[in-house]
């Protein structure tokens, strides 16, 4: 029986603390979230941080403190976002690796992002990928659209396999401007992934549940969390990230693929020992 890797994307850069009070924005809130989500079945935490005004920041000192606090509070694999917010410059997004996380996100192309543009031109993608190789950080290939899959193939062909030797992707579905979050699209995307690659899937907003059930049925892994979804059911805000992780863990268990432990996930993803 294979198990299910559950990633919690706890904060993101877009949600507003005032309208989502359960959003973890302080170091303490993030550390507590990590411990609760590990207990509920998560193995990876995908991390965006906020400043003292709860606004997104890529401040490297704060990122280093966050990595240390998350490691003290849990055994979760710490995956820092290099996507940041749509306003973040490329240099600041590359400097995220100075915080020495276990892993990082690496988005494989530009995508319309609601009324904004999430910019990931080829030059940035290849610089970031080469930096992950230099620094020993395991990338997760974030795929918001089909063109991103082609760019990931190009990246691997030109620069070789990632740190750890294993390709793990995350299909980010249902972003307004990216690929839709439905089962037909999920199946078509999975078919185009490199041989031997593993994948998680994430459905934004109301696509969360179809993507979660589709991914489990198709042998994939799951990313859930308040970065992606702020309601548990129609008209009912989530009480916190752990509730979303627990729901994913319950669904995975029902599918006979219970949550993967952080230790097993380190081996699965090829995270080098610290």
Residues that bind ligand KMH (CB under 6 A): 12-13, 81-83, 85-86, 105, 107, 113, 118, 142
Q: Residues 81, 82, 185, 241: which binds Zn ion (CB under 5 A)? A: 81
User: How many Å is the Cα radius of gyration of the chain?
Assistant: 17
Task: State the nearest-atom distance from the C-beta of 62 to ligand KMH, in Å.
Answer: 16
Rank residues 175 and 251 by Cβ distance to ligand KMH and give the closer one.
175
Contact call for residues 242 and 39 (beta carbons, < 8 A):
yes
Rank residues 15 and 251 by Cβ distance to ligand KMH and give the closer one.
15
Strand partners, 167: none
Tokens of 270: 């090829």
Q: Look at residue 129 and give the partner it binds from Zn ion, ligand KMH, none, a contact being a CB closer than 5 to 8 Å depending on partner kind.
A: none
Task: State the nearest-atom distance from the C-beta of 205 to ligand KMH, in Å.
Answer: 14
Task: State the nearest-atom distance from the C-beta of 203 to ligand KMH, in Å.
Answer: 14
Tokens of 57: 């920041």
Rank residues 47 and 216 by Cβ distance to ligand KMH and give the closer one.
47
Q: Look at residue 66 and give the partner it binds from ligand KMH, Zn ion, none, a contact being a CB closer than 5 to 8 Å depending on partner kind.
A: none
What residue ranges in the chain does DSSP mark as E strands? Answer: 6-9, 44-47, 49-50, 56-57, 77-80, 103-107, 111-113, 116-118, 138-143, 168-173, 198-203, 221-224, 231-233, 236-237
Sequence-distant (≥ 6) Cβ neighbours of residue 134 within 8 angstroms:
none
Q: Look at residue 202 and give the partner it binds from Zn ion, ligand KMH, none, a contact being a CB closer than 5 to 8 Å depending on partner kind.
A: none
Question: Beta 103-107 vs 138-143: how paired, if at all?
Answer: parallel
Residue number closest to ligand KMH, CB atom: 83
Sequence-distant (≥ 6) Cβ neighbours of residue 95 within 8 angstroms:
58, 60
Rank residues 105 and 246 by Cβ distance to ligand KMH and give the closer one.
105
Nearest to 166 by CA among 267, 260, 94, 79: 267
Binding residues for Zn ion, total number by CB under 5 A: 1
Task: State the nearest-atom distance from the C-beta of 254 to ligand KMH, in Å.
Answer: 29
Rank residues 197 and 255 by Cβ distance to ligand KMH and give the closer one.
197
Cα separation values, 271 from 35, 55, 103, 153, Å: 20, 30, 8, 21
Q: Look at residue 142 and give the partner it binds from ligand KMH, Zn ion, none, a contact being a CB closer than 5 to 8 Å depending on partner kind.
A: ligand KMH
- Contact positions toward Zn ion, by CB under 5 A? 81
């Amino acid at each position: 029986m294979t198990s299910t890797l559950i990633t919690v994307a706890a904060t993101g850069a877009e949600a507003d603390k005032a309208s989502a009070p359960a959003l973890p924005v302080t170091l303490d809130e993030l550390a507590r979230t990590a411990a609760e989500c590990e207990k509920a079945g998560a193995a990876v935490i995908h991390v965006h941080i906020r400043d003292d005004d709860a606004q997104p920041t890529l401040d490297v000192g704060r990122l280093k403190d966050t990595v240390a606090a998350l490691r003290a509070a849990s055994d979760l694999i710490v995956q820092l976002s290099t996507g940041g917010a749509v306003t973040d410059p490329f240099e600041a997004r590359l400097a995220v690796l100075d915080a020495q996380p276990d892993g990082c996100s690496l988005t494989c192309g530009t995508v319309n992002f609601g009324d904004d543009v999430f910019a990931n031109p080829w030059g940035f993608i290849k610089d970031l990928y080469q930096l992950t190789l230099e620094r020993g950080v395991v990338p997760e290939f974030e795929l918001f659209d089909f063109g991103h899959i082609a760019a990931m193939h190009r990246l691997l062909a030109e620069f070789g396999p990632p740190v750890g030797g294993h390709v793990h992707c995350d299909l980010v579905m249902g972003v307004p401007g990216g690929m839709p979050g439905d089962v037909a699209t999920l199946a078509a995307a999975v078919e185009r992934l490199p041989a031997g690659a593993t994948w998680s899937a994430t459905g934004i907003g109301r696509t969360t549940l179809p993507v979660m059930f589709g991914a489990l049925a198709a042998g994939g892994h799951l990313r859930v969390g308040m970065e992606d979804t702020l309601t548990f059911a129609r008209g009912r805000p989530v009480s916190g990230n752990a509730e979303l992780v627990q729901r994913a863990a319950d669904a995975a268990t029902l599918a006979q693929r219970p949550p993967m432990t952080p230790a097993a996930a380190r081996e699965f993803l090829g995270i080098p020992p610290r």
